Amino acid sequence: MSRQKIRSLAESIGNDTIQLRHFLHSRPETAWKEVETSKKVETLLREWGYENIHRGFNETEAGVTADLNIGKEGPSIALRADMDALAIMEENNVPYASQNPGVMHACGHDAHMSILLGAARVLASIRDELPGRVRVIFQPSEESGIVSGANCMIKEGALEGIDAIAALHIWSPLETGVVAVRPGPIMASADSWTVRIFGKGGHGAMPQDAVDPTLAATTFINSLQTIVSREIDPQEIGVVSVGKIIAGSAFNIIPDSVEITGSVRTFNPAIKKHMPEMIKRIADGISAAYRCRAELDFTSFVPVTINDEKLTDAFIQSARKTVGDDRVCTSPLVMVSEDFSYYQEQIPGLFFFLGSGNAGKGTDHPHHSPHFNVDDDVLVEGVALLAGFALDYLAGK
């Protein structure tokens, strides 16, 4: 099948796809509450002949998976969109602005859903010509950071029988229609940690009767940066940040303890794995030197997003056919994290950025800004890219 045919199918449903995005944009729902959104998705997929439809994950009514060509011989690919909006008050003055005050699709997940629905519709219309099976995954809770929708859906079987998976993120810093991708790591891991340093409280005027944990805490915070400057290979990337310090209650009291909370990000799973040991060693060693004691809680949030090399090569070829050679570029490493990484831990996965920035239309505001919006022109490109890649993957070219 020619790429021109995929593109004209995407264009033929272009207005519907735009309307759908506006509909979803006006009815945003936050993580694990994407119930009305999921019902809408389910209704459309049924209409287009999808089977094996499963709605409701993690004991909620949110999230949908559905299959095309079940039982057909050949390879299988899953395409995934995330569904959750953010707790942000929209400041855009558009007819389709959020009708749910304080909640807004400010990351482009409304576009992800409408693009995936468009691709699902295009693929359904050519199902007999597809040499394999397609699963669409509409995933709740990408943003929450605590209970990952990807992780929950995988545990409930969303990847069973699937050979590879692909997804995109709309990207406002990139010009509309430009595709950015890279093999290997593309987005960082994100973890959080809390160190508690215990001393012995006392009068601020009589430190000899107390064991001051604030001194240990400040020294610990300073020394923490030696992880990046002295322990990690200078050619690797790592960030260790402190975001919160809780200690004390009055000017003249030495507190009993100090609690320090922070985050770490990296593109190397080996560094991520080593991080708790490094933080704990510094916390323990410095606390001991100051007669204090330290405890560490380390919470792994999201792994590194790592693109499969073969799949990335195949995608680059496919994307060039769809948008043209000059519109496909190498993505920089992006320090933000993405729970698509959980799928990639299970099967080969491909994640790419699709530019939606257009200063003339005001769609170049940063993600998570109350002024964020998507250039609707990008939707047809997204539909053609996803449907075209699914077709190329199944056809093995």
Q: Identify the sign of the CA torsion 278, 279, 282, 285.
A: negative
Tokens linked to 272: 């991520």
Tokens linked to 145: 């950071």
Closest residue to Zn ion in the complex (CB): 107
Q: Which residue stretch of 104-112, 122-130, 236-244, 379-387 sits at the interface with Zn ion (rule: CB under 5 A)?
A: 104-112
Helix ranges (H only) for 254-376 are 269-289, 309-323, 341-346
For Zn ion, which is the closer residue by CB, 17 or 141? 141
Site for Zn ion in 143-172 (CB under 5 A): none
CB of 110 to Zn ion, least distance (A): 11
For Zn ion, which is the closer residue by CB, 67 or 82? 82
CB of 166 to Zn ion, least distance (A): 16
CB of 143 to Zn ion, least distance (A): 5
Using CB under 5 A as the criterion, what x/- string covers residues 342-381 for binding Zn ion? Answer: ----------------------------------------
Q: Which residue stretch of 66-74, 102-110, 216-224, 344-352 sits at the interface with Zn ion (rule: CB under 5 A)?
A: 102-110
CB of 116 to Zn ion, least distance (A): 14
d(C-alpha 297, C-alpha 288), whole Å:
18
Non-local CB neighbours of 282 within 8 Å, separated by 6+ positions: 220, 223, 224, 226, 227
CB of 82 to Zn ion, least distance (A): 6
Largest Cα separation within the chain, whole Å, is 83
Binding of Zn ion by 107 (CB under 5 A): yes
For Zn ion, which is the closer residue by CB, 118 or 149? 149
If residue 369 lies in a helix (H) or strand (E), which one and from where to where?
Answer: none
Tokens linked to 189: 């891991």
Using CB under 5 A as the criterion, what x/- string covers residues 249-278 for binding Zn ion? Answer: ------------------------------
Q: Which residue stretch of 1-9, 59-67, 106-114, 117-125 sits at the interface with Zn ion (rule: CB under 5 A)?
A: 106-114
Q: Which residue stretch of 4-12, 51-59, 101-109, 128-136 sits at the interface with Zn ion (rule: CB under 5 A)?
A: 101-109
DSSP state of 361: G
CB of 167 to Zn ion, least distance (A): 10
Q: Which residue stretch of 105-113, 220-228, 229-237, 327-335 sits at the interface with Zn ion (rule: CB under 5 A)?
A: 105-113
Binding of Zn ion by 188 (CB under 5 A): no
For Zn ion, which is the closer residue by CB, 215 or 334? 334
d(C-alpha 311, C-alpha 317), whole Å:
10
The answer to whether 284 and 249 are in contact (CB under 8 A) is no
d(C-alpha 295, C-alpha 226), whole Å:
19
Q: Is 217 helix (H, G, I), strand (E, B) or coil?
A: helix
The answer to whether 64 and 53 are in contact (CB under 8 A) is yes
The answer to whether 254 and 170 are in contact (CB under 8 A) is no
For Zn ion, which is the closer residue by CB, 339 or 392? 339
Identity of residue 135: R
What is the total count of residues that contact Zn ion (CB under 5 A)? 1
For Zn ion, which is the closer residue by CB, 148 or 214? 148
Non-local CB neighbours of 135 within 8 Å, separated by 6+ positions: 65, 66, 67, 68, 76, 77, 78, 79, 158, 162
Tokens linked to 355: 């530019």
For Zn ion, which is the closer residue by CB, 292 or 304? 304
For Zn ion, which is the closer residue by CB, 107 or 240? 107
CB of 142 to Zn ion, least distance (A): 6
Q: Which residue stretch of 32-40, 100-108, 149-157, 256-264 sits at the interface with Zn ion (rule: CB under 5 A)?
A: 100-108
For Zn ion, which is the closer residue by CB, 107 or 190? 107
Map tokens 């990952």 to a residue: 148
For Zn ion, which is the closer residue by CB, 107 or 130? 107
Tokens linked to 383: 């539909």
Cα angle for residues 117, 118, 122 (degrees, 5° grid): 115
* Binding interface with Zn ion (CB under 5 A): 107
